Structure 1
């Protein structure tokens, strides 16, 4: 007789878990509280639908926080494995110039979602919509909506973090797990904008302008990339990647300091030599000799005193490490992703809860972090496949 598996949540992790479960051994049902599955998956596609990142898997493993937490899952189902599987269901992909993996041009996010869902339907996976999980009864059976009771042999929770509430990912489940004596960590924004109090004249002139080919440092980590100046502060891949370091300072109740390198391809000595050997005025040196963009020059002018700006050695130091003070992060619901959720020591190497047998937690509801660029989705896919293969291998009818 088949065992029953209830998957709670209909996001990326859930869909891939179902896709790889052996339906000759299991009756699989996805319970989704919204009218359709994959809503956050579709929202993610609005900004450029990168499904994963194309770098070598050994390097990819180190990108996550904490490092190596996802090692087994990623090795079990890598970015190459993802591309092969997607191709097998009719979704060819390509690696873009940024090394991100995208569906072939013309394939929209809804098409990708539809093919994955249809693959599951064809193999017998059931979809139950408008089922909102409310907790457990005294027999550890699942309670949905007001009083619907579902009994499953295995439960896989994949309910997301706490951003983009409109998609159903609101983190409200956290208190239910806490009441079950399962440790949860407070949610924090990750991959989000950060607040910097700009001078009004600077932001009036530079709002929306990019800072390209820069490097950003915080604590012991440096990230190359781009930034966008916003009225709120800064956003972009360079600052997103430093979220763990920034949040660690903000969580201590103090402001965070980051350092902007406007010319990461040059050393301090290179810059100082170029500045001191030029007869141009300071602004012309920055523009003509160092090829700084107008927003970069404006940034130096607004943050440095006149004495600092005209002192060539100080100016060279600031070009290599311009301090920026972060006041706060964007609101939780505005973040691309969140950290927090179920503490990692509450699950074993198979993502099974230590305190609830045959109950698994995967995806963004666990307390880990990923940079932008396809890393988040890849990890969610890999966790789902890992749990599915574990159950296929270790559970007999």
Structure 2
């Protein structure tokens, strides 16, 4: 019996894992990648530490996505624990860092991870064609590439990525041909990105590049622990990245968003007040620095929104230390974002990621409209969708 043909458009994490798990005795798989090298965004993610996934229990892991329901079958089929086991099988052992994030063992570089994955799929008979840019569909509904090349396939899997980091090939230009075929797509928006704050000039001069450590951050009823950094334009870091859905929703609705920071999250407001009241120090700055152990940037933030009278009020300062209000005025540029939301609307795909408007055409990875925070969650969702779609194909 002859094999069915599968054309995979794009060579990123989702495509790699689809190709690694699809039954190549049943399907002839060909990947088309528009760049000279695939998975360039995958490699960029490896700079400064290649965070592949997170080690938390799966029931907690699932809750990190917005929305999460459409991903549950894929994550349950190929979990973060399954990923670590499989990577070890193919010679890529992993370690868990202090933050519970998962990385390749210290001696393994990102390019080695990619090379190993490519070796796995090529040994399975998967063909990869580089410098093949997909342009849409021909009049006869075949896949159309540059130079008027047409490709006919029994099934088509799109793994074209989102709309950030255009230099890697992830530019979102695919939305137009999808819309022309009646597929509902949404404009791309930045996620996991820096946020703008209208800092005072003197504050910027003193504090740009300073970290805010050991705080919690709240927006829209959600609270995140983590570290941020003061930038010339605003604030960035994993804690605000994780609040992207809530900050973005408020910005869309009101034009600004309220971000609350707790400078002493392990202390109650009463304890903060008691320490200040019982201090033997006379100057408020000394109390904040020595008794409460606030950092220079935290003290500068408090000074920046208080009058002299308010700054000397222990009651007022205790309140601000526990609930420091920060007004977020906007987001970083789309191409500066770590990831994006938007793309193919989730109501445009079935539970097996098949496009409702285009039978036998499937979409996986960041091109779907969902939020995943930093910490390995976006990569894991791509890995899981690829492995799960392969599993669904293999059962047919």
Normalised to the residue count of structure 1, the TM-score between the two structures is: 0.98
Q: How far apart, CA to CA, are the structure 2 residues paired with 1:188 and 1:229?
A: 22
Which residue of 2 is the match for residue 351 of structure 1? 353
Shift of 1:252: 2.5
Counterpart of 2:313 in structure 1 is 311
Partner of 1:252: 253
C-alpha distance in 2 between matches for 1:278 and 1:53: 42
After superposition, the C-alpha distances for 1:289-325 in whole angstroms (9 at most, x for unaligned) are 1111111111111122222211111111111111111
Do the aligned residues in 1 keep the contact of 2:213 with 2:227 (CA within 8 Å)? yes
What is residue 272 of structure 2 aligned with on the other side? 271
Q: Report what 2:68 is aligned to.
A: 67
Q: Aligned partners of 2:70 and 2:57: how far apart in 1? A: 17
What residue is the counterpart of 2:336 in the other structure? 334
Distance 1:165 1:114 in 2: 22
Deviation at 1:253, TM superposition (A): 5.2
5+ residue gaps, structure 1, are none
> Once structures 1 and 2 are overlaid, which stretch shifts more, 276-285 or 240-249?
276-285
What is the match of residue 375 of structure 2? Answer: 373
Give the secondary structure class of the aligned counterpart of 2:46: helix
Aligned residues: 394
Asked whether the equivalents of residues 22 and 390 of structure 2 are also in contact (C-alpha less than 8 Å), the reply is: yes
Question: Residues 200-215 of structure 1: matches in 2 within 5 Å?
Answer: 200-215=201-216
Q: Distance in 1 between matches of 2:342 and 2:29?
A: 28
Q: Could you say which residue in structure 1 is the equivalent of 2:239?
A: 238
- The CA deviation at 1:189 is 0.5
1:392 aligns with 2:391: no
User: Counterpart of 2:280 in 1: which secondary structure?
Assistant: coil
Give structure 2 stretches of 5+ with no counterpart: none
Partner SS state of residue 138, structure 1 = coil
User: Is 1:295 aligned to 2:305, yes or no?
Assistant: no
Once residues 239 and 90 of structure 1 are traced to their aligned partners in structure 2, the CA distance between those partners, rounded to angstroms, is 35
- Counterpart check, 1:49 vs 2:50: yes
Paired with 2:48 and 2:355, the residues of 1 have a C-alpha distance of 34
- Alignment partner, residue 135 of structure 1: 136
Q: How does 1:190-201 map to 2 (within 5 A)?
A: 190-201=191-202
Q: TM-score, normalised by structure 2?
A: 0.98
The RMSD of aligned alpha carbons is 0.9
CA–CA separation in structure 2 for the residues paired with 1:256 and 1:69: 28
| Larger CA deviation: 381-390 vs 178-187 | 178-187
* Ranges of 4+ aligned residues in structure 1 off by more than 3 Å: none
